[in-house]
Amino acid sequence: MTQGILALVTSTGCASASALQSLTDAMHIPHLYIQRNAEGSPRTACQLNPSPDGERYTLAARPPVRLSDVMLTLVGELHWQKFIIFYDSDYDIRGLQVFLDQTSRQGLDVSLQRVDRNISGVFSSLFTSMRTEELNHYRDTLRRAILLLSPRGAQVFIHQVCWLMGDTEIMELAHSSLGRMTVVRQIFPLWKDSSVSCMRNNHRISSLLCNPQEGYLHSLEVSNLYLYDSVLMLANAFYRKLEDRKWHSMASLNCIRKSTKPWNGGWSMLETIQKGHITGLTGIMDFMDNGSNSHVQFEILGTSFSETFGKDIKRLATWDSVHGLNGSLKESRIENGMQGITVKVVTLLEDPFVMVAENILGQPKRYKGFSIDVLDALAKILGFKYDIYQVADSKYGSQLPNGSWNGMIGELINKRADLAVSAITITPERENIVDFSKRYMDYSVGILHRKPEEKINIFSLFAPFDLAVWACIAAAIPVVGVLIFLLTRMQMLRSQNPPGAHHNSSMSNSLHSAIWIVYGAFVQQGGDSVVGSVALRIVMGSWWLFTLIVCSSYTANLAAFLTVSRMDNTIRTFQDLARQMDYAYGTVRDSAVYDYFRAKGTNPLEQDSTYTELWRTISKNNGQDYSVSSPSEGIRKAKKGPYAFLWDMAVVEYAALTDDDCTITVAGNSMSSKGYGIAMQHGSPYRDLISQKILELQEKGDLDVLKQKWWPRTGRCDLNSHSNAQPDGRSLKLHSFAGVFCILAAGLLLACLVAALEMWWNSNRCRQEQPKEDKEVNLEQVHRRLNSLMDEDMAHKQIPAPSIEISALDISSMPLSQQREAVRDYPGTGLSVSTFLPEQAHGVGRTLAQGPGSTLPLPHSSSTMPSIHCKHRAPNGGLFRQSPAKTPMPMSYQSVPGGPIPEAIEHSTSI
C-alpha cells in the first residue's frame, strides 16, 4: 500500500471479504471480489456491508447465488411434492435457506440428509443390512431427490432413478451414468464461438483457456475462471484510462497513520471498471448499480429415449436471470404407432403376476395379476388392444442343446407373439435374441421354506444360567450351611452358658436349620437374624452379597431372555442354505434361476464356493431329485416338508403373504441388477414407446400403487415372524412359566408325602410307648410321703432362703402370664409342681413350668369345694388312684442354695 494500489482483486471467503471491504472503502480502492467456497455449489451469498459515506468500492465479479431459483423452477415443472436433498460435508447448507423457505410456503415435503465422504461404503453397508421390504420402500422414496454432491460421489446414487444434480463443476457425469437423471450445471455459451474464442477486446487469450476442445479448461474451478476475467476487466479499464488521458497517479497509503488520506482517483477508476463491458471465459461481464454481476446461465440436461435408450443425454432447457426457464422439461414424444392396433401377447401363469380370473367354457380366459395390470395401463395410454394366450410348455424360455429356445422366448423368436408378459426377467442371454422394455420391477432370488416349529421348553426359566452355574449354586448352599453350623457350635462351646440354656439368638444350632436359613437368604425371603460371632457375621454378609449378585444377574438375564428371545430363522442367505443339512433345496428346471446357479456354480473363476455347493445339490441327477418342473410344485413342496424353494423373490413373497396357514416364510435379500420387463421381438418398433410409458408410470407413482395392491405391507401373514407361533411381544406365554408350576407341584407333593410319613412314624411310636397297666396312686399318700421326706432329709439343713408356699388352686386362679412369672421367679427350685385337672376337662396334668395352655376350669366357691375326682399319671407309667380332691393346704418348700434338691426329692413323684 505504501507504493500505491490502483485496484484490488481477491478470491476469498465471506469472513475475509468483509475485512477487505472495510479497507477498500476507507482507502477508496476499487475491489473486484470473487467469492470462493469449498466444493459443493451453490454458495452462500456474502452479506457485504455498505460504506458509511454511501460510497461502495467492492464489486462482486461472480454472480450471486441463483441455483436455488433454478431448482425451485425445476421442482415446480416436475410437479414434485416430496423429495430428499442429499449434501456432503463440504457443502454450506445455508445456501439453501431461500430454497427451503420457498418450498415450505408451497407446502412441499422436503427432507435433508447429510452423507459422509465415504458414500460408497456407507450406502453399501446400509443396503446390505436392510430387509427386502425396507430396501424397496427406501428405493421408492429415493426416486425423487436432489443431490448436492461432488460428481464422483453422485455416481454412487445414480441408478434407475430421477435425480436433480446441483453441482456447477459437473461435466462428464451425465454420460457415465446408468439410469435416467436430470443434470443442472452452469454454462458459458461463448466457449463454442470459435471465431472470437481467443480474441477478447483486442486481447489474445491462450488457446488452452479459450478453446473448448482443450481439456485444461474443463479442469479449472469456476472461481478461477471469474478471477481470470476480473484481471482481464482491470486491464481493459487501465487501457481506457490511458487512452482517455485521465490517468491518476497512485498515492502512498498507510492504515496506521491518522494523517493518511484516501486515494483521490479511486472513484474515477471504479466508474471506469463498472462501465466496462467485456467478454471473457465466463461470458459477458458487466456490473449493475448495486455492484453485482447479473450474467449467469444454467443448462438442464436429461436422458433421451432413442435406440440407445438410457445412454444419450441432450439439453432439455436453459435458465438465465433475465428470461427464466427457456424450454420444456418434457421429453419429446415418440410417435405413437400402436394406436388402434391389436397385438398378440403370450403369458405364463405365475402368482401374482398372471393368474386366471375367469374361465368360462366356450369363452376366452380372463386373466388378472400385477403384469396384467401393467399391460392394461399401457394399453389404456397407448390405445392398443391385445389377445392373450398361455404358452404350451409353461416355461419362460431357455436355450436347448440344439440351439433353439423354448417357452415364451421361443414364441417371440418364431413370430407367433408380439409381446411376452409375465414374471420374465431380463438376462443377457435373452437380450441377445429378443428386445426388452424398461424394467417395471426389480428382481432378486428368494428362499421359500417352511417355518421351523417352535420348540417349547418348560424349563426355559433356567436358561439364563448355564448348567455348571446352577451346579455351583446348588453346591454352595450346603457348604455355607455346614460352615455356619460349625461356627455356631464353636460359639456355644466357648460360651459360659450351657448348651441347653436359653440364648438370645434365634438361630437354631441344628444343621438343617442352618441350611434353611442359608436357603431363605438365597431366595430373598429373609431369615432368622444372626447375632453371633464376627466370623458368623462375615460368612452371612459374604453370602448375602453373593445372593444379591446372583439374583440380580438372574433377573436381568431372565427378563432379556423371555422378552427378546424368539425363534430365529436358521436360513437367511445362500451361505446358510449351503451349510445346513436339514433342508433339501432346488428350483425350476430350465429357468433363469436354474441357469443363474449353473453359470455361477460351474464358473472356475468364481471365488465363492457357496454357489458350487448349491449347484451340486440343485443339479443332482440332472435336476430330477430336488428341482421341480413348475413354481407351483415348488411352493407346495416347501409347504409340506423340509424343502427350500429358490425362486423369484416377488413370487415367493406373495405365496408367503397369502398362505392360508402362514406356515412358510421367505429369506434372502440379495439384490440383482436384473429386473422384470416386457419381452418383444428383436427390432420391435414398440420398444421405445413402451419403455417411455413405463417410466411415466414410475414417475407418477402408478407402479407403486399396483405393487401395494399385490404385495401389501400388512397382509394375512407376517414375514418377519420366523415361527408358526406369532407372539404379540407383550405377554409371556404359559409354557415359559410351566417349569415354575412343575417345581411348585413337586414341592407340594413332597410336602404331603413327608407329612404322611411323619404321621405314620408318630403313630407307631405312640403304640410302642403305650403302658401295659395303669397303676393308681392315692393322692393323700403322696402328700404324706412328700412331707415325711422333707422332714427327715432336710430338717438338719439350714435354708436361709424364704420358704415358697405353692397352692394348686392359687396357681390355677392366676392369669396365664402370672403363672409363668411365678415359675420363672424360682429357677433354683428343682421340684416341679403339677396341677391336677378335673377328669372331665383334661386327662393329664401339666407342670407349673409348662407353656401356655388351657386354664383350669375349677368351680369357684367361697366356703367349700366340691369333691372332684382327678387322676394323674404316676412316674412308673400308672395312674394315680382317684380320690376326692380335698381343699389344698399350703405346702412349705425352701430353695436349696448352692445345689439342687436332695436326690430323694429329685426322684420323688412329681406334683
Query: What per-residue confidence (pLDDT) applies to 665?
Result: 82
- Rg, Å, the chain Cα set: 52
Per DSSP, the residues of 388-457 read EEE-TT-----B-TTS-B-HHHHHHHTTS-SEEESS-B--HHHHTTSEE---SEE--EEEEEEPPPPPP-
Q: Tell me the C-alpha distance between 102 and 141, whole Å.
A: 22
CB 454 within 8 A of CB 725: yes
Q: Tell me the C-alpha distance between 313 and 331, whole Å.
A: 11
Q: Residue 661: helix, strand or coil by DSSP?
A: coil
- Return the DSSP state at 782: H
Q: What is the edge-to-edge ordering of all strands in the sheet holding 664-667?
A: 584-586, 643-648, 445-450, 664-667
Work out whether the CA dihedral 202, 208, 213, 218 comes out positive or negative. Answer: negative
Q: Residue 344: helix, strand or coil by DSSP?
A: strand
Q: Where are the domains of the chain?
A: 8-64+191-297, 85-186+299-327, 342-443, 460-564, 574-671, 734-770, 779-906
Q: Tell me the C-alpha distance between 556 and 569, whole Å.
A: 25
User: Within the chain, which residues score under 50 in pLDDT?
Assistant: 39-42, 120, 137, 140-141, 156-179, 191-197, 305-311, 499-508, 531, 567, 723-729, 775, 795, 797-812, 822-911
8: its cell numbers: 484490488
Q: Tell me the C-alpha distance between 10 and 31, whole Å.
A: 8
Per DSSP, the residues of 687-722 read HHHHHHHHHHHHHHTHHHHHHHHHS-SS-SS-TT--
Locate cell 393323700: which residue? 780
CB 588 within 8 A of CB 594: yes
Cis check for the bond before 352: say yes or no (omega within 30 of 0). Answer: yes
Residue (of 287, 298, 168, 185) closest to 230 by Cα position: 287
Residue 648 labeled ligand binder: yes
Cis check for the bond before 64: say yes or no (omega within 30 of 0). Answer: no
The second-level CATH assignment, the architecture, of 8-64+191-297 is 3-Layer(aba) Sandwich (3.40)
Q: Residue 502: helix, strand or coil by DSSP?
A: coil
- What is the rounded (10 degree) CA torsion for 362, 364, 369, 373? -150
Q: What are the beta bridge partners of residue 183? A: 165, 301
Region for residue 778 given its phi and psi (left: phi exceeds 0; alpha: psi -120 to 50; beta: otherwise): beta
Q: Which residues contact 413 (CB under 8 A, 6 or more apart)?
A: 405, 433, 434, 681
CATH topology of domain 85-186+299-327: Rossmann fold (3.40.50)
Farthest CA pair distance, the chain: 164
CB 554 within 8 A of CB 522: no
Residue at 472: amino acid letter? C
Q: Tell me the C-alpha distance between 242 and 573, whole Å.
A: 79
638: its cell numbers: 416347501
Locate cell 469449498: which residue? 38
Residue 180 labeled ligand binder: no
CB 44 within 8 A of CB 14: yes
Bridge pairing between strands 324-327 and 313-320: antiparallel
Distance of CA 216 to the CA centre of its chain: 50
Element (H, E) at 186: strand 182-186
Query: What per-residue confidence (pLDDT) applies to 347?
Result: 92
Q: Tell me the C-alpha distance between 299 and 189, whole Å.
A: 10
Query: What per-residue confidence (pLDDT) applies to 50?
Result: 61
- The CATH code that applies to domain 460-564 is 1.10.287.70
Q: Tell me the C-alpha distance between 493 and 505, whole Å.
A: 15
Q: Which residues contact 170 (CB under 8 A, 6 or more apart)?
A: 151, 154, 183, 185
Measured at the CA of 444, the angle between CA 440 and CA 450, to 5 degrees, comes to 125
Q: Tell me the C-alpha distance between 617 and 615, whole Å.
A: 5
Residue (of 660, 656, 635) closest to 645 by Cα position: 635
Question: What are the Cα distances from residue 630, in Å, to 406, 594, 811?
Answer: 15, 12, 103
Q: Which residues contact 310 (CB under 8 A, 6 or more apart)?
A: 178, 179, 180, 303
Q: Tell me the C-alpha distance between 892 and 806, whole Å.
A: 7
Residue 427 labeled ligand binder: no
pLDDT tens, position by position, 776-813 = 555 666 666 666 666 655 545 444 444 444 444 444 45
pLDDT tens, position by position, 885-894 = 444 444 444 4
Measured at the CA of 792, the angle between CA 790 and CA 795, to 5 degrees, comes to 75
Element (H, E) at 199: strand 199-200
Query: What per-residue confidence (pLDDT) applies to 420?
Result: 92
- Return the DSSP state at 628: B
Distance of CA 183 to the CA centre of its chain: 37
Q: Which residues contact 546 (CB under 8 A, 6 or more apart)?
A: 476
Instruction: Compute the half-sphere exposure of residue 243: CA atoms within 13 Å on the CB side of its CA.
Output: 7
Domain 342-443 has CATH 3.40.190.10: yes
Q: Tell me the C-alpha distance between 352 and 350, whole Å.
A: 6
Q: At 369, phi and psi to the nearest 5?
A: 140, 175
Query: What per-residue confidence (pLDDT) applies to 113?
Result: 72
Enumerate the H helices of 244-369 as residue ranges.
266-275
Q: At 664, phi and psi to the nearest 5?
A: -120, 155
400: its cell numbers: 436347448
The second-level CATH assignment, the architecture, of 574-671 is 3-Layer(aba) Sandwich (3.40)
Question: What are the Cα distances from residue 128, in Å, to 122, 649, 650, 819?
Answer: 10, 16, 18, 87
CATH topology match: 342-443 vs 574-671: yes
Q: Which residues contact 612 (CB under 8 A, 6 or more apart)?
A: 601, 606
Q: Tell me the C-alpha distance between 677 and 442, whole Å.
A: 9
